[in-house]
Structure 1
Amino acid sequence: MNRSTARPSGRARTARAAWAGLAALCLTALVACTSSEPLGFETAAARGADDLAAQTGALPAFLARFEATLTPVDPKAPRRRVVLDPMLETTSGQQTATTALLGKLVGERLGRKTGRFELVPFRGDTLPDAQLLLTGTMTRAPGGAPAAGVRIDLALTDLKTRQVIAQTTVHARDEALDPSPLRYYKDSPIVIKDKVSEGYARTSRTAVGQPADTYYLERIGVAAQIDAATTLYNAERYRDALGRYEDMQNDAGGQQLRIESGIYLTNMRLGRVAEAEQAFGRIVALGIQYNELGVKFLFNPGSLEFWSDPKISGSYGMWLRQIARESVRSNTCMNVVGHTSNSGDATLNDALSLRRAGVIRQLLVAQAPVLGARTAAIGKGFRENLVGSGTDNGFDVLDRRVEFKIVGCEQIPAEGAPDAKPAAATPAKPTTRS
C-alpha cells in the first residue's frame, strides 16, 4: 500500500481532533483576553493572576491558562517566593474589604493554581529571601457608579533587579463589592495619600521591563513593618501596635503619614491625648512637606456645623490647633479647600463647600491671626471626589474632607478670602445632604 495515500490511523485522527479542539479553545480564550467587557470580580481576579503567571513563563497567556487548568501541579518543582504588599484603592489610598479580597484571590490563584509561586508573609524577615513583589490597585470609574465597574492593575516586580517582570490590567463589574475601609483607614483623621502610596500605584501600572517606582521600593522594608503594626491595630491590639509604630520612627524611610497616623490613633485609643496631639503635629508637618494634607472634618448634612457626635468631632479643636501652629512655624501659605459628597444640586454643593472651607479658615485665623493673610478659602463641591458614590455615609466620608494645599504666598489674594460664618443659614430648600 502506498503510504502517501493511506488513511490516517485512529490514533492520528484522535490526535488531530484534540489539537483542533485545543486550537479552538485557545482562540476563544484569546478573544476573551482581549475583550474590554468587565468580568465578574472573582473571574477578573483569576484572569489577572493567570496573566501575571503567563508573563513569567514561556507560554502565551491564553495557552498558560489551559496549562494551569489541565496540568497537575508538581509539588517538587521549584517555586518562586512572592510577597504581597496589601492592595490599595487608588483614589483614596485606602485598604478596603474589597482590596483585601482581591489580594487574597490573586495570591491564592498564583500559589495554588500555577504551582510556580509560593506566597510568603509580607514581613521584614521574609523580604531578604523573597524573589518577587506582588502589588495591585483598584480604581473606580469617575463618579463611582456601580455600573461603571472597577479597573484592576496588578504587577510582579523582581526584587533583585527592581524591574517589573509582569503587569496586567483587567476590568471587573461592581457586584455589590464591599467598599468599607479597614479599621485603621476608617479611623485615620487624614487621607493617607503620599509619595509612598502614589509610588505603589505607579508600580502596579508600570509596563513590563521598566523599573518599579524607586521611592516606593526604597521603603519596602518599612512597608512590611507598617503592615504588621496596622494588622495589630485592626485587631484592636493597640499597645502592641503603638510599640511597632514607634520602633519605625527613627528608621530610614520612617517619616511617613501611615506611621504618624498609627501613632496618633493608638495613643488616642489608649487615652494618651497629649502624645496623640504631638503625633498629629508631625502629621501636619509631613503634609506641609508634601504640599497637601486632606483632613476628615465632618459637618452635619447640609449645614456648617461640625458633626454632632463628639466621638467624631471632639478632636477637631486639637487638629485645628496643630494645623495653625505648624503653618505659622513653617511660614506657609495655603488654600483651604472644601469638598462635598456627590449628592444634590451642583451649585448648592459648590456654595456649601466654600462656606465650610471658610469656617475652617476662620477657626485657623482665630488660633493664629497671621494666617489671615496667608490663607484663602476655596469650594470644590463634588468635582474632586475621591469616592463619588453620593451615599452620604461612612463609605464616602473622604468626599467631605477639607484639604490644605500649600501654595506660593503670591497666590493668596491680598484680602485673603471671605470667611463663611457658622451662623449662615442652610439653603431654604436643601436638595443635598453633602
Structure 2
Amino acid sequence: MTLRFLLCLGLGAWLSGCSHPVRDVHQTHLQPVSLQQATQTVASDLFARIREDKGMLGRFTEQSVAIDPITDRYSQEQVAVSEEMTAYIKAVGTALRMAKLSVLSAQTLRSSQYVIQGTLGLEKHPKQPNKLYHLQAVALNVRNGELVASADAWIDDKHLRYQALPEFNDSPMYLVNKQAARPLAESYSAARFLMDVQATALLNDAGQAYRRKRYAAARDLYRQAGTHATAEQMLRVYAGLYMSQLRLGQAAAAEQAFEQLLALSFAQRDVLTLKILFKVDSEVFYGDALAQQQYQQWLRKMTEYMTKNQRCLHITGHSSRTGSAEYNDALSLARANRIKSVLDAGLGGDTAQVTAEGRGFRENLIGSGTDDDRDSLDRRVEFSVPACVR
C-alpha cells in the first residue's frame, strides 16, 4: 500500500479532502417569506457552500467574504433596501462565526477570498398568481472566478424601500440588464467577473463617497475606476464623473463627461437609456428644477451629436402599471412625442430624423405600480438608434 492510500483511509482523508463528493451548488426556496427571512436563508445557503469549498479545514477557519450590495435586477441600480439586505447577510455570517465580512470595496477586495453578489426584482412566481420580489444571489471565488454557490428565494413583502440610492438617483443614465431574463447563476461568467470586479469595487467606493457628499473624492474614485473598467462599466464611470463634477460646480468638465457618455452609449448599446422621467399621469418632467434643467441640456447635446454624426433616433415612451392598457398606451406615446418635439426643434424641423411610439406598461422595469419615486423608472422614455432612411 502506498503512503497516500493509507492517509486517505485515515485522518488524512478527513483533513485533506482526498475525495470530493459531487454537490449541487444551487438552492431554491419557493415559499414566499419576509425580506429578512428570505435574505438570511439565501445567505445561510451561500455561507454553507463557502465553508464546504475549503474542505474539512474550512469548518475551523474563518473565510473572508466581501458583499457586493444587491442591485435591482432590471436597472442594475442599488436601492435603499440593498443596505438592509447587506445587514441581514452580515448578521448570518456573524452568527455562523465562520466569515470575516465586509462590503465590497477596493480595500476589502484585496483581502477577500469570496464575493457575494445578487439581484432583486419583481417576477412571476412559478406557483403564485401575482408577481413577487425574487432574490437571487451567488458566491464567487475571488482568485479564479469560480461559482461556488447560488441560491434564490421569494419575498412576500409588497412595499420594500425601493428608492434608488443617491449615486444612482442622480445619474443621467440607468443600465438595462440584458441578461435579466436568465437566472443569475446561468448568466454568470467567471471571465467577466474577473474582468469586472476591480472596477466594481472602485465604483462602490465612489458611490459611497458621493452618498456622503464628498464629491471631490467621488470624482477621483470614478477616474480611478475608469483605469480598470470594461466598456460597459465606463458608462457608469462617465455618469459618475458627470454628476460629481456637476456638484462641484465644474460645468465644463461635467459637460465633457456627458458627451463621452453619449458617444459611448451610441457606440456600445442598442438602446440609449438617459434617465428622462415623468410625473405620474402626466407629460410633465419628473424631478426638481435642477433635474428638469439637466433634461433640457441632455436633449440639446443629443441633437448636437445627431447633427454632427448624421444619426437618427427612435423614441419609446413608457408608463407605470396603473390604469387601463389603452390609457397608458396613449400617455406613453404623448411622452415620447413631447421629447420628439424638443429634438425636432433642435434639428431645425427635420421631423423625419426622429420617430416615436408608446409602449404603455408592457415593458416596466420596476412594475410595482406604486406611482411614486420607487417606480419612477417606469415613467421613462428610451432611445434606440435605427439606420436613417431618407
Give TM-score, length-normalised by structure 1: 0.74
CA contact (8 A) 1:89 1:139 kept: yes
Q: Secondary structure at the match of 1:295?
A: coil
How is 1:30-179 mapped onto 2 (pairs within 5 angstroms)?
Answer: 36-57=30-51, 77-109=60-92, 111-141=93-123, 148-174=131-157, 176-179=159-162
For 2:5, the equivalent position in structure 1 comes to none
Q: CA deviation at 1:152?
A: 0.8
Match of 2:3 in 1: none
Q: 1:103 to 1:331 in 2, by over 3 A?
A: farther
State the shift of 1:273 in Å: 2.4
Task: Give 5+ residue unaligned stretches, structure 2.
Answer: 1-26
Deviation at 1:384, TM superposition (A): 0.8
Partner of 2:217: 240
Mapped pair 1:189 → 2:183: no
User: 2:249 aligns to what?
Assistant: 271
Contact 2:215 2:247 (8 Å CA) reproduced: yes
**Shift of residue 386 of structure 1?**
1.0
- Partner SS, residue 78 of structure 1: coil
Deviation of 1:350 after TM superposition, in Å, equals 0.8
Amino acid paired to 1:43: Q
CA distance in structure 1 between the aligned counterparts of 2:355 and 2:72, rounded to whole angstroms: 30
Paired with 1:291 and 1:327, the residues of 2 have a C-alpha distance of 15
Note the alpha carbon deviations across 1:217-264, whole angstroms, 9 max, x for none. Answer: 302101111111110111111122122223333445376222111111
- What letter matches 2:257 in structure 1? A
Match of 2:342 in 1: 363
Question: Aligned partners of 1:105 and 1:40: how far apart in 2?
Answer: 12
Q: How does 1:252-331 map to 2 (within 5 A)?
A: 252-253=229-230, 256-288=234-266, 289-307=268-286, 309-331=288-310
Partner secondary structure for residue 156 of structure 1: strand
Partner of 2:6: none
Matches of 2:173 and 2:105, distance apart in 1: 26
| 1:59-107 per-position Cα deviation (integer Å, ceiling 9, x unaligned) | 9xxxxxxxxxxxxxx9993222112222101122111111221122123
Mapped partners of 1:234, 1:179: distance in 2 = 16
Contact in 1 for aligned 2:313/2:384 (Cα 8 Å)? yes
Q: Distance in 2 between matches of 1:35 and 1:256?
A: 36
Residues 147 and 173, structure 1, Cα contact 8 Å, conserved in 2: no
Q: How does 1:370-381 map to 2 (within 5 A)?
A: 372-381=351-360
Q: Distance in 1 between matches of 2:370 and 2:158?
A: 17
Shift, 1:142, TM fit: 5.6
State whether residues 298 and 306 of structure 1, in contact with CA within 8 Å, keep that contact through their aligned partners in structure 2: yes
Decide whether aligned partners of structure 1 residues 340 and 235 sit closer, same or farther in structure 2, where only a CA change above 3 A counts: same
Per-residue CA deviations over 1:10-47 (Å, capped at 9, x if unaligned) read xxxxxxxxxxxxxxxxxxxxxxx876220122111121
Q: Structure 1 residue 335: deviation in Å?
A: 1.5
Secondary structure of residue in 2 paired with 1:245: helix
Verify: 1:386 aligned to 2:365, yes or no.
Answer: yes
Q: 2:349 & 2:191 partners in 1: Cα distance?
A: 39
Superimposed CA distance per residue, residues 328-380 of structure 1 (whole angstroms, 9 cap, x where no aligned partner): 44443332111112222221211121122122122112222496433310111
Three-state SS of the structure 2 residue aligned to 1:43 is: helix
Deviation at 1:287, TM superposition (A): 1.9
Aligned counterparts of 1:309 and 1:125: Cα–Cα separation in 2: 36
For the 8 Å contact 1:222–1:248, the answer to whether it is kept is: yes
Pairing partner for 2:198 from 218, 221, 243: 221
Counterparts in 2 of 1:347-358, with a 5 A limit?
347-358=326-337
Q: Which amino acid aligns with 2:175?
A: I
Larger radius of gyration between Structure 1 and Structure 2? 1
Identity %: 30
Range 239-248 or range 335-344, more displaced: 239-248
Secondary structure at the residue paired with 1:395?
A: helix
Report SS of the residue matched to 1:396. Answer: helix
Q: 2:129 and 2:207 mapped to 1: Cα distance?
A: 29
3-state SS of paired residue (1:354):
helix
Q: Taking structure 1 as reference, are residues 142 and 267 closer, same or farther at Cα in structure 2, changes over 3 Å only?
A: farther
- Hey, what's the Cα distance between the residues in 1 that align with 2:341 and 2:96? 59
- Work out the CA distance in 1 between the residues paired with 2:225 and 2:28: 44
Contact 2:174 2:274 survives alignment (8 Å): yes
Note the alpha carbon deviations across 1:89-130, whole angstroms, 9 max, x for none: 112211111122112212331x21322322244232332432
Contact 1:338 1:356 in 2 (8 A): yes
RMSD of aligned alpha carbons: 3.1
SS at match of 1:206: helix
- CA-CA distance at 1:194 after TM superposition: 5.9
In the alignment, is the contact (CA less than 8 A) between 1:337 and 1:378 conserved in 2? yes
